[in-house]
Chains A and B, each alone.
Chain A
Amino acid sequence: DIQMTQSPSSLSASVGDSVTITCRASQSITNYLNWYQQKPGKAPNLLIYAASSLQSGVPSRFSGSGSGTDFTLTISSLQPEDFATYYCQQSYSTPLFGQGTKLEIK
């Protein structure tokens, strides 16, 4: 099975900062990689699909990149509503999510 390793597990930042979250697959998944945002008590919400495509309605400060085994989610100019937990998910084979990154206010 393909394993997904997401890092860091937690991250502190301030409003206006730029942050990057990394997801690594144990084998190539080309660009079969999604990113979700989850707020407490809510379902995950799709941000990025196919590694770098922005879901409709998602602010342009969110961006994704990568292919093969290494992927990143970048949030530029953090806004208060961006403090949440982020998950990567590979859709190349049996669906598997990363462990999550909790983004907290510094």
Chain B
Amino acid sequence: QVQLQESGPGLVKPSGTLSLTCAVSGDSISSSNWWSWVRQPPGAGLEWIGEIYHDGSTNYNSSLKSRVTISVDKSKKQFSLKLYYVTAADTAVYYCARKGYYGSRSYYNWGQGTQVTVSS
């Protein structure tokens, strides 16, 4: 069973860069799955940020694309998120997730999430 664990600073200054890493266990990061980031602002719903495949292919939410980079490190079995020029609106719980498949239908397995606050 896949396990995902987010790590990174819980506090980021405005205009700074949010950097998070997700460690993968119980599945190969080189498997036929996409590795994703989703966030949830306080008291709000879920927002998909983007995803990466083990070959480095990426897809991003168009509303965040100019500020986001997702990368993968197969040797460390982890993938990472960088969000640039953050503001208070980027305060959220950030989840890493595996997009798995039942046939052609995808679904998400989730990490436990990590709170990131943007504040000076």
The interface of chain A, by Cβ under 8 A from chain B, is 1, 31-32, 34, 36, 42-46, 49-50, 53, 55, 87, 89, 91, 94-100
Contact = CB atoms under 8 A, between A and B. Distances in A.
Interface of B: 36, 45-48, 59, 61-62, 95, 99, 102-103, 105-113
A48 B111 CA distance: 19
Interface SS, A side = loop
A91 B47 CA distance: 13
A46 B47 contact: no
B1 to A, nearest CB: 11
Contacts of A91: 105-107
Nearest to B109: A46
Contacts of B61: 94
A96 B116 CA distance: 22
Given A94-B59, A95-B48, A53 B111 contact: no
Given A87-B46, A99-B45, A43 B102 contact: no
Given A43-B95, A43-B113, A94-B59, A87 B106 contact: no
Contacts of A99: 45
Contacts of B62: 1, 94
Contacts of B99: 95
A84 B51 CA distance: 27
A2 B9 CA distance: 34
Contacts of A36: 108
A49 B105 contact: yes
Contacts of A43: 95, 110-113
